[in-house]
């Protein structure tokens, strides 16, 4: 499956409304996704990771468990 | 009914095991009914629901009997809070989902209330349809309907909040009194 660009843009806009940026790198059947906080982002406004993975999976065309997801609050 | 809290992140979209949440039976009208308000801590959420409560009282004869504020915007309301709402309300308005996590958890709250037989109207801002819809799917109920208002809500003045509540009122009333076909099992 390929990336659904329209849905990806919609998801990016949703995150942008909370001042987050979405960086995506899809390689084959897995993906690296980083969510980057802007200066006005509220930490609590991000959905739990499993929900975010379920949102990303159909958009990126990969299984939720194949998405390596990094949140701004994750330890470096 | 609320002995166990629904973990909003358990299950997959269209989870066959969980099954679709059926809507509670709607009243024909709202006159004399007890209204519960389930508020989150986003700025203006309480004011928004207070305005809705006032409008519903003035125009439809609804009596607000209970207002509860969720301890977290990320998670659904705790079971004891939902139990209170179930015991003291005939219909409940939930809101305002004005961020990614709070729109998702508001939808989870709405579905829990419906499952307990309480008609609910969930209010989310339109920028967060994606997370609200994702939660509905994750809970096995894609297409769950909720009321939307323009984003943002948090930056509105009290007059702006009042205006938004006024705009949302017809849809809220409709959602509490009709049987939404899209959500029915």
Q: What is the pLDDT of residues B128-183, one digit of tens each?
A: 999 999 999 999 999 999 999 999 999 999 999 999 999 999 999 999 998 544 44
Q: Which residue of A has its CA nearest to B101?
A: A47
Q: Please judge whether B131 and A55 are an interchain contact, meaning their C-beta atoms are less than 8 angstroms apart.
A: yes
Distance separating alpha carbons of residues B43 and B40, to the nearest angstrom: 9
This prediction has a pTM of: 0.89
Name the residue among A17, A19, A69 with its Cα closest to residue A48: A69
- Residue A64: the pLDDT is 96
pLDDT confidence of residue B4: 37
Q: Confirm whether A76 is domain-assigned.
A: no
What dihedral angle (degrees, nearest 10) is formed by the CA atoms of B166, B171, B175, B180? 180
ipTM: 0.89
Total domain count, chain A: 1
Domain of residue A23: give its range. Answer: 5-70
Please report residues of A whose CB lies closer than 8 A to that of B72: 44
Instruction: Return the exposure string of B143-182: e unless at least 16 CB atoms fall within 10 Å of the residue's CB, then b.
Output: ebbbbbbebbbeebeeeebbebbeebbebbbebbbeeeee
* pLDDT at res. A76: 77
The verdict on residue A75 lying in a domain is no
Please provide the size of chain B in residues.
185
Residues B131, B134, B138, B142: is their CA dihedral positive or negative? positive
Angstrom distance (rounded) from CA A14 to CA A58: 16
The sign of the CA dihedral B10, B15, B18, B22 is: positive
- Give residue A46's pLDDT: 95
Provide mean pLDDT across the span A18-42: 96
Per CATH, the homologous superfamily of domain B34-183 is Response regulator (3.40.50.2300)
Residue A57 lies in a domain: yes
Find the CB nearest A44 among B10, B74, B152: B74
Residues from chain B contacting residue A49 (CB–CB below 8 Å)? 9
Q: Do B130 and A55 touch (CB under 8 A)?
A: yes
Show residues of chain B in contact with A48, CB under 8 Å: 8-9, 74, 101
The model's confidence at residue B17, banded by pLDDT at 50, 70 and 90, is low
- A18 lies in some domain: yes
- Confidence class of residue A56 from pLDDT cuts 50, 70 and 90? very high
**Contact status of B18 with chain A (Cβ, < 8 Å):** no
Taking residues B87-112, what's their average pLDDT? 97
d(CA B173, CA B185): 21
């Amino acid at each position: 499956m390929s990336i659904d660009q329209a849905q990806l843009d919609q998801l990016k806009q949703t995150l942008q409304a909370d001042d987050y940026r979405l960086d995506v790198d899809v390689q084959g059947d897995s993906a690296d996704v980083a969510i980057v906080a802007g200066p006005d982002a509220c930490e609590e406004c991000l959905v739990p990771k499993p929900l975010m993975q379920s949102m990303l999976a159909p958009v990126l065309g990969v299984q939720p468990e194949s998405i390596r997801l990094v949140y701004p609050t994750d330890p470096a | 009914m609320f002995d166990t809290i629904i973990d909003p992140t358990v299950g997959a979209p269209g989870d066959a095991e969980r099954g679709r949440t059926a809507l509670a039976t709607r009243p024909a009208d709202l006159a004399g009914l007890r209204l519960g308000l389930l508020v989150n801590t986003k700025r203006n959420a309480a004011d928004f629901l207070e305005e809705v409560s006032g409008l519903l009282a003035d125009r439809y004869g609804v009596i607000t009997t209970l207002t509860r504020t969720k301890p977290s915007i990320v998670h659904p309301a705790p079971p004891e809070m939902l139990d209170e709402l179930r015991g003291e309300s005939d219909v409940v308005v939930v809101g305002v989902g004005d961020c990614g996590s709070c729109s998702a958890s508001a939808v989870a709250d709405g579905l829990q209330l419906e499952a307990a037989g309480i008609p609910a109207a969930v209010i989310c801002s339109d920028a967060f349809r994606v997370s609200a819809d994702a939660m509905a799917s994750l809970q096995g109920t894609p297409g769950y309907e909720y009321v939307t208002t323009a984003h943002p809500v948090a930056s509105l003045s009290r007059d702006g909040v009042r205006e938004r509540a006024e705009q949302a009122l017809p849809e809220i009333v409709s959602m509490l009194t009709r049987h939404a076909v899209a959500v029915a099992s």
